[in-house]
Amino acid sequence: NPLKQNFITPANVSAANTVATELGVTTADILAFAALESTWGTSNFAVQGNNFFGLHAPQEGQIGTVTGKPPYRVVMATFSSFGASAQAFANNYGDIVQGQTNPTAFFSALQNSGLFGIDPFTEEPVPSYVPSGAATARGIAAGLVCTP
């Protein structure tokens, strides 16, 4: 998968590992969360502003903002790098997932917070969010283990 190859870079893995260690979660969960929120780094917010975690402005560590296209029109924080975006997630929302080492528990905690995995139009939880996130994390974990 070219998207995955371009996203799972040594720099992103290192930054995710730093945040994962800080939060007591797995590197794969942090990478999977970023992959889902940023469509493997291809979303407008990731491309234009290094915002890989769906972080609305204002956020600690942001360097600017970018406004979403209609119909969303949300103002998102921009960051200098994947690592800065990951650290902002950890600083502002890390308590939501602290110590969750099981991918299903990790993504359930995010969705149960009411801040992630919520349909912006219906304001209801997206049914596929937890299973998709957990499956993505398991796939990334398998790849990380196999990578020399």
Tens of pLDDT, residues 91-113: 999 999 999 999 999 999 999 99
Q: What was the pLDDT predicted at 80?
A: 97
pLDDT above 70 covers what percent of the chain? 95
Return the SS3 of 56.
strand
Q: Distance between CA atoms of 38 and 136, rounded to whole angstroms? A: 13
Q: What is the pLDDT of residues 21-70, one digit of tens each?
A: 999 999 999 999 999 999 999 999 999 999 999 999 999 899 999 998 77
At residue 2, does pLDDT exceed 80?
no
Q: What is the pTM of this model?
A: 0.93
pLDDT at residue 145 above 70? no
Q: Is 23 exposed, middle or buried (0-12, 13-18, 19+ CB in 10 A)?
A: buried
- pLDDT number for residue 148: 41
Helices and strands (H, E) in the chain, number of each type: 7, 2
13: left (phi over 0), alpha (psi -120 to 50) or beta: alpha
Integer Cα distance of 120 and 91 in angstroms: 24
- CA 19, 37, 13 angle in degrees (round to 5)? 35
β-bridge pairing 75-78 and 64-67 = antiparallel
Local confidence band at 120 (pLDDT 50, 70, 90 cut-offs)? confident
Residues 90 and 110 sit within 8 Å (Cβ to Cβ) = no
How large is the average pLDDT for residues 69-90?
A: 91
